[in-house]
């Protein structure tokens, strides 16, 4: 836990917006380099770390995919020294007013998202309505002429509030979707340093999940694994949320079941969690999971896939909240499953298990 916290703080503080992931990728690469046997990137920028197993060749491989991109904003225009913005990924304009941001122009500029007073908004925006994103502004405090020389249309705007350690072993901040899962995969790689491993493991931090699952599709096609685990955040119980569509925080990761998931892989990972007496929640979906698993499962002739979830409150806001223990548990569960994979595991699984 002490080593996990500073890494997650640094990683979640990086911008790395969808399609522009390099700041996050550099931090991950530095941490992964001593943990894997080979490190590289895909043509689109997804980070690929190969941890070689010691089983008989040719060894099967398993892909663990965690997306590293984050939602954010982009400058669309300047008016009188203020910046108009649009969203990158699923940005909810309701949570933006008052947010601290960084404008990535010719140099990084601090700013805040401002909401004009009701009398300055168009008549169709009621005084009690949430103000649409197109009417919000970023204020850097600079005069118009100075700002015009530093910021251009298309420049990125990322959240800038620092992560905050809260009580009960929790961390709040922006971009924990999905940097929390990258941290869990890092815990897994650290655990595998002292464990037997028969299979090759491809640790992948994917790009552009928030804008179309793009990195997962291309990396799965490039690497062609036999199996895949996708790790992403999921909805944690929070204010006003019902128990039937959220999961408890600090009670372990979730195991997802549904048509996006191979049932035999689900049963195998659940059996490991039960053997370890590791707490977990069961999660179900009647359709696709909305994660990188959608792209991975349908790559090439099909890849048996499982989704592991890390409960997160306030998703897609600047104050996402996660339990550090849930991250540790997810990492340990993956390491236990991977180190126990027999070379003939593929011969033992069928779709109707």
Query: The domain 72-159: what is its CATH number?
Result: 2.40.30.40
Q: Which two tokens stand for residue 146?
A: 């100075």
Q: What is the pLDDT of residue 26?
A: 98
Taking the domain 4-70+174-348, which CATH number applies? 3.40.630.10
What pLDDT is stored for residue 79 in this prediction? 95
Q: Which of the four pLDDT bands, split at 50, 70 and 90, describes residue 353? A: low
CA distance 246 to 220: 29
Q: How far is CA 149 from CA 144, 257, 288, in A?
A: 9, 52, 45
**DSSP letter string, 183-214:** HHHHHHHHHGGGS---SEEEEEEES-TTTTSH
Dump pLDDT digits (tens) for 128-184. 778 889 999 999 999 999 999 999 999 999 999 999 999 999 999 999 999 999 999
Q: Is the pLDDT of residue 20 over 60?
A: yes
142: burial class by Cβ within 10 Å (0-12, 13-18, 19+)?
A: middle
pLDDT of residue 35: 98
Please report the pLDDT score of residue 240 as a whole number.
80
The string of pLDDT tens digits covering residues 93-113 is 999 999 999 999 999 999 999
Instruction: pLDDT band for 12, please (50, 70, 90 cuts).
Output: very high
Confidence category of residue 351, pLDDT binned at 50, 70, 90: confident
Question: What is the DSSP pairing of strand 38-41 with strand 170-173?
Answer: unpaired
Q: Which tens digits make up the pLDDT trace of 28-58? A: 999 999 999 999 999 999 999 999 999 888 9
Q: Where are the domains of the chain?
A: 4-70+174-348, 72-159
Contact in structure between 309 and 232 (CB atoms under 8 Å)? yes
């Amino acid at each position: 836990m002490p080593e996990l916290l500073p890494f997650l703080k640094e990683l979640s503080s990086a911008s790395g917006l969808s399609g522009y992931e390099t700041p996050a990728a550099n931090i991950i690469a530095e941490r992964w380099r001593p943990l894997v046997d080979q490190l590289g990137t895909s043509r689109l920028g997804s980070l690929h770390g190969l941890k070689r197993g010691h089983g008989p060749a040719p060894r099967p491989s398993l892909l663990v995919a965690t997306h590293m991109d984050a939602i954010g904003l982009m400058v669309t225009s300047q008016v009188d020294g203020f910046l108009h913005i649009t969203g990158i990924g699923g940005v909810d304009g309701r949570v933006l007013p008052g947010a601290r941001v960084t404008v990535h122009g010719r140099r990084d500029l601090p700013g805040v998202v401002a909401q004009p007073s009701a009398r300055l908004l168009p008549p169709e925006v009621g005084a009690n309505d949430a103000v649409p994103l197109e009417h919000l502004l970023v204020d850097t405090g600079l005069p118009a002429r100075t700002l015009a020389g530093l910021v251009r249309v298309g420049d990125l705007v990322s959240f800038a509030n620092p992560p905050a350690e809260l009580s009960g072993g929790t961390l709040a901040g922006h971009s924990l979707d999905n940097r929390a899962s990258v941290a869990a995969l890092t815990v897994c790689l650290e655990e595998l340093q002292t464990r037997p491993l028969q299979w090759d493991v491809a640790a992948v931090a994917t790009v552009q999940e928030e804008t179309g699952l793009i990195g997962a599709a291309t990396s799965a096609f490039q690497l062609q694994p036999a199996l895949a685990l996708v790790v992403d955040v999921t909805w944690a119980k929070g204010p006003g949320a019902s128990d039937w569509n959220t999961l408890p925080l600090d009670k372990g990761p979730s195991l997802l079941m549904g048509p996006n998931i191979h049932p035999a892989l689900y049963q195998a990972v659940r059996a490991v969690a039960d053997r370890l007496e590791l707490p977990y929640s069961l999660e179900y979906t009647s359709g696709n999971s909305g994660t990188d698993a959608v792209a991975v499962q349908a790559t090439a002739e099909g890849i048996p896939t499982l989704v592991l979830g890390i409960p997160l409150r306030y998703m897609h806001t600047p104050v996402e909240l996660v339990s550090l223990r849930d991250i540790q548990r997810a990492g340990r569960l993956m390491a236990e499953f991977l180190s126990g994979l027999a070379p003939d595991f593929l011969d033992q699984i069928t779709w109707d298990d």
